Homo-oligomer: A and B are copies of this chain.
Amino acid sequence: MMASSGLSFENPVFAAYASYASLVVLKMFFVALYTTHTRFRVGVFANSEDVKGNKGAVARLDNPDVERVRRLHRNDLENIPAFLVVGLLYVLTGPSPGVAVWHFRVFAASRCLHTVSYLASRQPHRVLCFSAGLLTTISMAVHVLMVGTL
């Protein structure tokens, strides 16, 4: 095994994967903080202890703006951790660097644009971005399945 074929930053495929993985995690954390930002903007929080000393704020679970951000965040949770692990396994199959890096780029771009489309209530942009990210991860998972053994 050469140093440049496994999980090492000397392997350009791994170095690309690691960067895009960190990028989508940071994007997901942006959504977490955007939820808090939205809660303060509309003055609606989930827990009674969150509204103390926060004049005019109420504890309720049904603000449409907050719930939109939370649905978007949940969609991230349904897709990003799966990408993070499947992407790592895919790196270890020794894929063609060009093909691999484009998988990572399409996934990262589609999740960033999915976030924008969701916040802007834009369809069919949102479903197209979701599908692109899903298909990228499915493509990598199928590749891993073909190399692995059940």
Residues on A facing B (Cβ under 8 Å): 1, 3, 6-9, 12, 14-16, 18-23, 25-26, 28-29, 32, 46-50, 52, 61, 67-68, 71, 73, 77-82, 84-86, 88-89, 92-93, 121-123, 126, 134, 137-138, 141-142, 144-145, 147-150
Tally of this chain's copies: 3
- Whether A123 touches B25, Cβ cut-off 8 Å, given contacts A18-B148, A134-B32, A148-B18, is no
* Chain B positions within 8 Å of A121 at CB level: 47-49
Please report whether the interface of chain A is mostly helix, strand, loop or mixed according to DSSP: helix
A112 to chain B minimum Cβ distance, whole angstroms, is 13
Pair B22/A144 contact, Cβ less than 8 Å: yes
Pair B49/A141 contact, Cβ less than 8 Å: no
Pair A149/B21 contact, Cβ less than 8 Å: no
* Chain B positions within 8 Å of A81 at CB level: 77, 81-82, 84-85
